Structure 1
């Protein structure tokens, strides 16, 4: 394509030759320039009309702004409804947690009224109307306070239950020689050596030498020595002035000052000291006074039976 430009005043003529590529490029460049000029003029006219309140442009601006605010309000309302539903579910769960806390506190021996907790803090959100941001914020604050209170209650209950568990573990309720039959019981009997009536201050568990002896409860070893009457003797302090004694052992496996736990292997059956045959002589002393160990062991059997029954009941309810 050839373009000829003639200048009449200067009596001069110029000729330009445009190929297909150059022509296409020129048209594209011209189109872009026109688009930029149009956009700039549209923006200037629209902004000026919006600021000065031109009738047609002002109406268009108000319509666009109104539609934008309507969409935003609809979006916020939908999200508030979703949040309200989730808050209602959270409040229902908090009520369930509150009820569970009351039941567990009863098991722990704690009166909920003594922990300064206001009951009935939960409750479902009111339905059938639109909720405001302020109402949602107030509900969230109430839930946060209630959750903090429930956490405090559960912490107290956990401490009390842990304390009760520790106390149970410190009571000698486990048979020290599980596989042995019970020999002489606690009480008055004919002494096998002197043939006279004498008080037998513990329980005897006849067993083969070397049979393991297990701690009847957790505690601290306060005595580990050889006694003329008891032979190799071990005494464990369980707190609350309660001590268990293991006598006539062939071997002691712990030493004074050791902390031991329930069911730990502490000695082996023997025939040391004043003994007529291999056995364990087991005593329970409260404030230094011998008690019948059978009462403690029977309590352990009853506790184990109740735990098994409770486990079966829970399994059947699932």
Structure 2
């Protein structure tokens, strides 16, 4: 393709030769320029007409804006409905949790009023209601506050239950020698050595030498020594001025200051000290005064039976 450009003033002519590739590139460049110019002109005219309120353009703008607002409103309403449904489900679960908390607090001996919680206060019910954004936000705030209160209640309940568990673990209710017959019981008896009436301050469990002796509860070893009367002896402090004593052992496996778990092996049955045969002499002392160990062991059996019935 050949283009001839003539200048009338200078009386000159100029010829431009365009091959197929150059022609294609030139057409593309011209098309891009025209599209850009058209878009710029359309944008300028549209904005000017929208600002000045030209009849056709103003109507078109209002229709577009109205459609966008409707779409946004519909989108927001759908999201609010979904959030309200989820909020209703959360609130129903919160009410169930509140009811469970009240029952558990009764088991733990906790009164919700002690920590400024009003029982049965679940907030407004939102299931099946159309909520505005303000109502939705207010309900969320109420649920957040209620969740914090429930957390406080559960924390106190956990602390009380843990405290109760520790107390139970520290009370000597476990039989210290398994599969052993009970010998002499707590109380007055004829002393087998002197033949005189004397107070027997514990329980005797006759058993073969080497039979395992277990701690009746958790605690701390406060005495581990050889005593002329009790032979190899271990004393465990369980707190609250309560101590258990294990006497006449052949071997001892703990020392003073050791932390002892409930049911832990502490010694083996023997015949040391003032004894007429291999057995464990088991005592429970409260503020240094001997108590009948059988009452503690019976309480442990009663508690175990009650738990078995619940299960």
For the residues of structure 2 that align with 1:128 and 1:232, how far apart are their CA atoms?
75
Matches within 5 A, 1:182-221: 182-221=182-221
Question: Do the aligned residues in 2 keep the contact of 1:95 with 1:123 (CA within 8 Å)?
Answer: no
Structure 1 residue matching 2:217: 3-state secondary structure = coil
Structure 2 residue matching 1:68: 3-state secondary structure = helix
Runs (4+) of structure 1 moved beyond 6 Å? none
Aligned residue number for residue 17 of structure 1: 17
Matches within 5 A, 1:70-149: 70-123=70-123, 125-126=125-126, 129-149=129-149
For the residues of structure 1 that align with 2:211 and 2:127, how far apart are their CA atoms?
71
**What is the CA-CA distance between 1:289 and the residue it aligns to?**
2.1
With 185-194 and 121-130 compared, the bigger mean Cα shift is at 121-130
For the residues of structure 1 that align with 2:170 and 2:7, how far apart are their CA atoms?
119
For the residues of structure 1 that align with 2:128 and 2:62, how far apart are their CA atoms?
32
Matches within 5 A, 1:229-240: 229-240=229-240
Question: Do the aligned residues in 2 keep the contact of 1:92 with 1:124 (CA within 8 Å)?
Answer: no
**What is the CA-CA distance between 1:309 and the residue it aligns to?**
2.1
For the residues of structure 2 that align with 1:292 and 1:236, how far apart are their CA atoms?
17
1:191-223 superposed Cα distances (whole Å, 9 cap, x missing partner): 222233332211111222222211101112222
**What is the CA-CA distance between 1:177 and the residue it aligns to?**
1.1
Aligned residue number for residue 62 of structure 2: 62
Over 3 Å counting, the alpha-carbon distance change for 1:126 and 1:2 in structure 2 is: same
**What is the CA-CA distance between 1:129 and the residue it aligns to?**
4.9
Question: Do the aligned residues in 1 keep the contact of 2:284 with 2:292 (CA within 8 Å)?
Answer: yes
Matches within 5 A, 1:231-270: 231-270=231-270
Aligned residue number for residue 171 of structure 1: 171
Give the total of aligned pairs: 311
Question: Do the aligned residues in 2 keep the contact of 1:50 with 1:57 (CA within 8 Å)?
Answer: yes
For the residues of structure 1 that align with 2:235 and 2:299, how far apart are their CA atoms?
21
Aligned residue number for residue 3 of structure 1: 3
- Does residue 48 of structure 1 match 2:32? no
Over aligned residue pairs, what C-alpha RMSD do you find?
A: 1.6
**What is the CA-CA distance between 1:16 and the residue it aligns to?**
2.2
Over 3 Å counting, the alpha-carbon distance change for 1:100 and 1:127 in structure 2 is: closer
For the residues of structure 2 that align with 1:265 and 1:242, how far apart are their CA atoms?
19
For the residues of structure 2 that align with 1:115 and 1:14, how far apart are their CA atoms?
100
**What is the CA-CA distance between 1:113 and the residue it aligns to?**
2.7
Over 3 Å counting, the alpha-carbon distance change for 1:139 and 1:207 in structure 2 is: same
For the residues of structure 2 that align with 1:221 and 1:128, how far apart are their CA atoms?
64
Question: Do the aligned residues in 2 keep the contact of 1:87 with 1:125 (CA within 8 Å)?
Answer: no
TM-score, structure 2 as length reference: 0.95
**What is the CA-CA distance between 1:8 and the residue it aligns to?**
4.4
Structure 2 residue matching 1:233: 3-state secondary structure = strand
Aligned residue number for residue 281 of structure 2: 281
**What is the CA-CA distance between 1:235 and the residue it aligns to?**
1.2
For the residues of structure 2 that align with 1:305 and 1:129, how far apart are their CA atoms?
50
1:60-110 superposed Cα distances (whole Å, 9 cap, x missing partner): 111111111111111111111111111111111111111011100110112
For the residues of structure 2 that align with 1:265 and 1:127, how far apart are their CA atoms?
59
